[in-house]
Chain A
Amino acid sequence: MPVNQCTIMTEGLIGLRIGECFDLKPLEPEARLQAFAKSIFMPRFVAEKEKKFTIMGKVYKDKGGPQQKKQKKQGEDTGTSADAETDPHPKWALYRPVRCANTVGLLPDASMDELTLRRTQLLEALNEVEDDLGMTRTKPADEEASTSNAKMRTNEHLIDIAGRKQPSAEEMGLMRATMTEQEIVDQLQKANENFGEKTEYSQEKFRREKMLKHSRKMRVLPTNAITIAATLWSSIAETGMKFANFRARDVLPQILAMANVQAGSRPLLVESTEGLLTGAILERLAGHGRLYCGHFDTGWSDLRMLHFFNPSPTEIATLREVNLSEVLQDFSGEEPLTTLQTKLERLYEHKGKLEQRLAALDDSNADDATVSAQRADLKKNLRAIGFTIRGTRNKLPTKEADARENVEVYSELKNAQATSLILASKYDIKRSFFGLLKFLKPGAPFVVFSEAVDPLVQLREQANNKVAVGMAIQETFCREQQVLPSRTHPLMSMSGRSGFLLSGHKVDPDAEEGQLVHVKVNKLAAYKEAVKSERDPRAAKDAARRATQTSVPAEVSAATSSSE
């Protein structure tokens, strides 16, 4: 059982502090299921094993696709998948732990009291889930697994694999379950035929790497953009899964820096990094300022990674999801509210009329069949209208809050109050950039990420210095070095693909045109005029008139300027 598929008990980790170590123990399936159930309520955590193996506790919302299939396979031997399929509560079935289920770490400064409180809360919550999931149900597959597990435990600790090249997967599992990492490495060393022939350095390396691989010591890390990204990155490297083609280790820090993200800033972000960028920015805002997280059309921002960050309520309060299509189409955020209110007014009006008519009927005291039928009709209508009114009224508070937020966000964006623009999305780069630039403050920075250089080149070619200044397209070369006495060298595998970043500052589009004069244009024009005037008296007059105009339109100066 490789580390990253290991389920560890969450409970034992509660109360651990960041930096503390714990043992990674393989769990029996039953316990694993419990851990899974608990993980739903747990904050996320990140842990690592000497930086090479990082794991992250998380719950995962399946969205189908190949990934799901893969996890199902994984789930089958734990028994969770069967459970999920037959589970009467599909809500829970959607969640499953991918790497390992667990918690901790996120409360570095929490007092012991808080932790105990938290723990009781979690346990209570767990009881409920256990009922929901029907945890008491027995699962034949699991039983088998656990009995065979029990048999393993009784086995002799050492498994002699000497003389053979590789232990089988089965033997490996057995060894992991029963031996310490030291013993495992001893065994492996014995099994490795040419260990003795290796140089001293490579013997050491062999032992070091094997120790690392089979060690079960994990250390709790702080949960933040970098540790989360590192874990995701390593998981991508392992599974071949692409993560928005985004090398977070060096690109993420640069995006945050180039976009001048800090407490109090108001970046406008359009991302397809599944919430990694959103989380990283919220972390840097720390509850001050605002993050406009934009999406287009009817879609929603996919922020599924956001929960790994354990964002606090104040941090979440700075997040504003904005439908940029609405803002761009001049949709006023007030609309849904006012329509709701007018609707309500009309309903009341109508209701009043009906009541008047009813009263009139009552007053008339006529008692024939048509009148009573009318009365019954009216009453039915009134009741129906009463329902509609109540329904509309119930919608009002949330709509009101929504609308208030929308009005605020829309007016801020329309007044170009975003303090930076960050694009790292699947949307058309050039059009998104030119379409959204109007929301950015003049003078403020922008960053555009693209996997390939071409879209950025096209963008750069179209953005002249009337649009932006200080534009630069760059990629990064980022390489890790192994630093050991006499054995310092670059690590073998290195990602050669950082993607590209285009950064720059927006120019004030309303800069007084015509005030700027370009000397070259001026002189050349004057010179041409002068030459002409020597031959043609009419042109001379023309030239004289033009000379009194002191300026040349800014477009001309911009187009010919050599300053960019």
Chain B
Amino acid sequence: MAAVEKNLTLEAPASEEPAHRESGPFACDDKDIIKDGDLVVVFENHTSITKVKVKRGETFEHRLGTFDLDHFVGKRYGSRVQPMRNNMNQRKRARTGRASRGESGALVQVGGYATLLPLTPELWCDAVSRRTAIMFPLDNAMVVSHLHLKPGSVVVESGTGSGCLTNFLARAVAPHGRVHTFEFNKARVDAAKLDFAAAKLDDVVCCTHANVYENGFGAEVESTKADAVFLDLPAPWLALPHAVKVLRPFGRICTFSPCIEQVQRTAAKMAKLGFSSIMTLECLPREFRITKIKTTVPVVFQTEEEKAIVRRPGGSRGGANAEADDVAKGEADEDANKAAAAQRKRARPERKQRQDMRPFQTSSLETSVAAVIDQCARPMQEKEFITADRVILPFDRQKGHTGYLTFAYAPFK
């Protein structure tokens, strides 16, 4: 605790200055130690990513438990933290009706932990409270690059939605550029404004409440012109004439639509309005996981050693799902002995488990059939050799691909 206090007093004077910075809002150049008022990401795992504004004296309710935000202040980014109270234990206690033995009397922080990370637009996509359908990092990265954005560019976006893309745009055009983002749902505008303020994006992002089909992007932006326009709207073609007005000659445009019918209408309208080099892309990320799968080796294909291993009496059963766990530890090069021992462990319990599973009440016919199957199966199983191979598998559900991106150059007048 003492260390934390010291850090704080050290940190206090420098932090408040909204000094003139030549950095993007997400540049981590000055982010070493977490300060009061920082927006940090609490990363537990791929499915549990949240963001929180660090405030002294406050707590933060998390899936894992309650975090004391005082603990965050003075920690380095990339540190790991644990909650004060532990939700997992509480749940367990509720279930078993008694305190768990392990924590008897000890005043410890227990349970899982999370890592504190600086906020990036990528993490934002995971941490944001989704008010609308959002765009995912791959599409967002494509939009930023193919709109040719760089620091100083002026870009117009509609609709703001949950602000996922807005962050990517802001990161690319900061510090001197500008993102004008338009949204016609008042509640979403207000929520987005709060979000942008929390991430200190105020001097880059300007969020306006307007219906762009009807009112376009406003006289002010139209007079200063934009380098690029991005549209994620149900009917982008209705906003295209306004886009022409707001774009500088040969500026870039991109529209995002989930349905190919929308893309067709948009592309046709673009061609009509004089946009050129119209290109439609479809991008999907394929993420992989490293895992182990079990395969059975038929007796005829078994080597002599394998047969010997199968015959040998083995030890006790290992962890039930040990093979299914994703490999996170660097134990690729196990020596052969270990592997063989593990093999023995695995070969036996397999049979035991199947026997254990059988004894439910069944009709006599089913029982007899089961007995036959059992008899046929057992001798084979005794000789069965199971290999556990490390494999690389794509995830079943991939984050991303919700639509098509259509890019073009604005008319050159």
Contacts and interface: CB of A to CB of B under 8 A. Distances in A.
Contact of A481 (B29, B44, B113, B263): B263
Nearest to A49: B277
Contacts of A516: 80, 82, 109, 113
A475 B332 contact: no
B76 interface: yes
Interface stretch (A165-173, A337-345, A391-399, A507-515): A507-515
B287 A288 contact: no
Contact of B23 (A225, A263, A465): A263
Contact of B150 (A18, A283, A505): A283
B115 interface: yes
A419 B280 contact: no
B332 A445 contact: no
A519 B24 contact: no
A477 B268 CA distance: 26
B223 interface: no
Contact of B82 (A283, A477, A517): A517
A222 interface: yes
Interface stretch (A73-81, A237-245, A254-262): A254-262
Interface residues on B, range: 35 or more
Contacts, number: 294
A253 interface: yes
A489 B171 CA distance: 34
Interface string B167-202: 010011011000000000000000000000000000
B328 A465 contact: yes
A507 B151 contact: no
Contacts of A476: 138, 283-286
A475 B400 CA distance: 12
B276 A474 contact: no
Contacts of B284: 476-478
B26 A260 contact: yes
Contacts of A265: 23-24, 27-29
B77 interface: yes
Contacts of B23: 262-265, 288-289
Given A263-B151, A519-B86, A479 B286 contact: no
Nearest to A227: B148
B354 to A, nearest CB: 26
A405 B138 CA distance: 36
A263 B173 CA distance: 8
A519 B45 CA distance: 17
Interface in B98-113: 100-104, 106-113
Interface stretch (A61-69, A192-200, A436-444): A436-444
Contacts of B24: 262-265
B318 interface: no
A50 B263 CA distance: 19
B117 interface: yes
A459 to B, nearest CB: 10
B298 interface: no
Given A226-B145, A262-B26, A288 B150 contact: no
Contacts of A462: 330, 332
Contacts of B314: none
B76 A257 contact: no
Interface stretch (A33-41, A350-358, A555-563): A555-563
B100 A523 contact: yes
Contacts of A461: 290, 327-332
B27 A563 contact: no
A505 B151 CA distance: 24
B277 A522 contact: no
Nearest to B110: A519
Nearest to A229: B145
Contact of B44 (A260, A264, A488, A563): A563
A530 B77 contact: no
B112 A561 contact: yes
Contact of A469 (B22, B29, B112, B115): B115
B28 A260 contact: yes
Contact of A257 (B104, B114, B122, B283): B122
Given A284-B151, A550-B108, A20 B412 contact: yes
Contacts of B278: 483
A252 interface: yes
Given A263-B174, A557-B113, A470 B31 contact: no
B151 A519 contact: no
B374 interface: no
Interface in A378-424: 417, 419-420
B249 interface: yes
A177 to B, nearest CB: 27
Contacts of B172: 262, 284
A308 to B, nearest CB: 15
B175 A508 contact: no
Contact of A479 (B281, B285, B287): B281
B286 A474 contact: yes
Contacts of A284: 150-151, 172
A48 interface: yes
A461 B329 CA distance: 6
Contacts of A463: 330
A83 B20 CA distance: 55
A430 to B, nearest CB: 10
Contacts of A257: 121-122, 137, 140-141, 144, 168
A86 B98 CA distance: 94
Given A258-B122, A264-B21, A265-B29, A475 B279 contact: no
Interface string B222-235: 00000000000000
Nearest to B23: A264
13 contacts: A226-B148, A250-B281, A417-B29, A457-B290, A463-B330, A470-B43, A476-B286, A481-B260, A516-B82, A516-B109, A516-B113, A523-B102, A525-B102
Interface of A: 17-21, 48, 50-51, 219, 222, 224-227, 250, 252-254, 256-258, 260, 262-266, 283-286, 288-289, 417, 419-420, 441-445, 453, 457-458, 460-465, 469-470, 472-483, 485, 488, 490, 500, 505-508, 510-512, 515-519, 522-527, 530, 547, 550-551, 554, 557, 559, 561-564
A-B pairs, 3 with minimum CB distance: A264-B23, A19-B250, A442-B78
